[in-house]
């Protein structure tokens, strides 16, 4: 096992990093995405994604991790299938990072394909011909959600505290070390946001807006992807895709813990699984005053040259 940076060790693609309190988080590195990612096939996929076999009606759903793609995927799938009830399939079966090319090819059109890739990784043809839904969530809530996911997934092998995890994230930001996952919030979110200003194929959906008033956001998505509905349908979809409804529905159907096979169980016993809270402002239950001040200063640096405006509470 070779030392990578101070207290960070590698063994092949496995990277073991201590958090701010010394608790170890286990991750996997890849050469093509500037970050450490939890999926086994990400290196292979990122190398070959420029050759991804596109269909003209493919719809791509993209976001920084833990930003609300599960609910938006349900909304988009219901719109394309003319449904007002949740599908029996889990989002993961349309997730590019998890599924094989053969599995993705077997999906019927129009495919709603989701991933967390930065925009530079996409085939140029996709960015000019296909529709994109870019979900943006405030980075404080996304970070808290990722912390709980890291605690819950077996492959992270992590049981650290919030304070340790926060220091781990801040240290990586401040020292220029590789971030945790899929670049980091600014280098993933901001290029998508900026590109959307000149590329009409991209629509930005803010998670906070969706939680506060879902019907107008569902209508925006529907019109963007070319599947407009009537007002009653939008309202039915909004009711069916509330976070509480999605979580309950998927748990009843045994899909909350499913990743890519019915028998896989990536979550630790007692974990809430992929659907935890889905709320705006849960960061206030985790950040101390001092942590919040430090993160606000970092956020101001991130957004110094952009007009993006995310809401940290509603």
Cβ(60)–Cβ(132) under 8 Å? yes
Tens of pLDDT, residues 80-120: 999 999 888 888 889 888 888 899 999 999 999 999 888 98
More confident residue, 232 or 25: 232
Query: Which SS3 state, helix, strand or coil, does residue 57 take?
Result: coil
- The arithmetic mean of pLDDT across residues 39-57, rounded, is 82
Residue 253 has pLDDT above 80, yes or no: no
The CATH number of 42-155+165-302, from 3.20.20.190, 1.10.1240.10, 3.40.50.300, 3.30.420.340, is: 3.40.50.300
Separation of alpha carbons 279 and 277, rounded Å: 5
Q: Where are the beta strands (DSSP E) in 128-194?
A: 131-136
Domain ranges of the chain: 42-155+165-302
267: pLDDT confidence band, cut at 50, 70 and 90? confident
- Rg value, the chain, Cα: 19
| Three-state DSSP class for residue 20 | coil
247 pLDDT more than 90 = no
pTM of the predicted structure, to 2 decimals: 0.88
Return all residues near 280 (Cβ < 8 A) that are at least 6 apart.
Answer: 138, 141, 207, 208, 211, 212, 311, 312, 313, 314
Cα gap 76→63, rounded to integer Å? 14
* Predicted pLDDT of residue 312: 98
Nearest to 258 by CA among 92, 68, 69: 92
The beta-strand segments (E) located in the chain are 2-5, 8-11, 14-18, 24-29, 36-37, 59-63, 112-115, 131-136, 202-206
């Amino acid at each position: 096992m070779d030392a990578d940076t101070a207290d960070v060790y590698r063994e092949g693609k496995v990277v073991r990093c201590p958090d701010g309190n010394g608790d170890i988080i286990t991750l996997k590195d890849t050469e093509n995405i500037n970050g450490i990612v939890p999926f086994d096939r990400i290196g292979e996929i990122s190398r070959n994604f420029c050759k991804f076999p596109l269909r003209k009606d493919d719809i791509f759903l993209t976001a920084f991790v833990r930003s609300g793609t599960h609910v938006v995927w349900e909304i988009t799938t219901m719109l394309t299938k003319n449904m007002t009830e949740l599908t029996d399939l889990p989002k993961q079966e349309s997730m590019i990072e998890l599924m094989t090319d053969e599995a993705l090819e077997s999906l019927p059109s129009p495919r709603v394909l989701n991933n967390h890739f930065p925009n530079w990784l996409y085939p140029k043809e996709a960015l000019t011909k296909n529709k994109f839904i870019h979900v943006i969530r405030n980075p404080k809530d996304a970070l808290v959600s990722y912390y709980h996911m890291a605690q819950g997934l077996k492959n992270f092998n992590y049981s650290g505290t919030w304070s340790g995890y926060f220091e781990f994230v801040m240290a990586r930001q401040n020292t220029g070390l590789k971030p945790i996952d899929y670049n980091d919030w600014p280098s993933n979110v901001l290029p998508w946001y900026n590109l959307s200003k000149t590329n009409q194929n991209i629509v930005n959906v803010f998670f906070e807006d969706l939680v506060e008033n879902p019907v107008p956001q569902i209508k925006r998505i529907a019109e963007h992807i070319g599947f407009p509905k009537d007002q009653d349908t939008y309202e039915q979809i909004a009711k069916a895709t509330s976070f509480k409804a999605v979580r309950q529905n998927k748990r009843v159907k045994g899909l909350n813990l499913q990743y890519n096979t019915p028998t896989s169980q990536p979550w630790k016993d007692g974990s809430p699984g992929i659907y935890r809270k889905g709320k705006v402002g849960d960061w206030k239950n985790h950040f101390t005053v001092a942590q919040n001040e430090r993160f606000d200063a970092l956020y101001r640096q991130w957004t110094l040259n952009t007009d993006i405006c995310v809401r940290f509470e509603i």
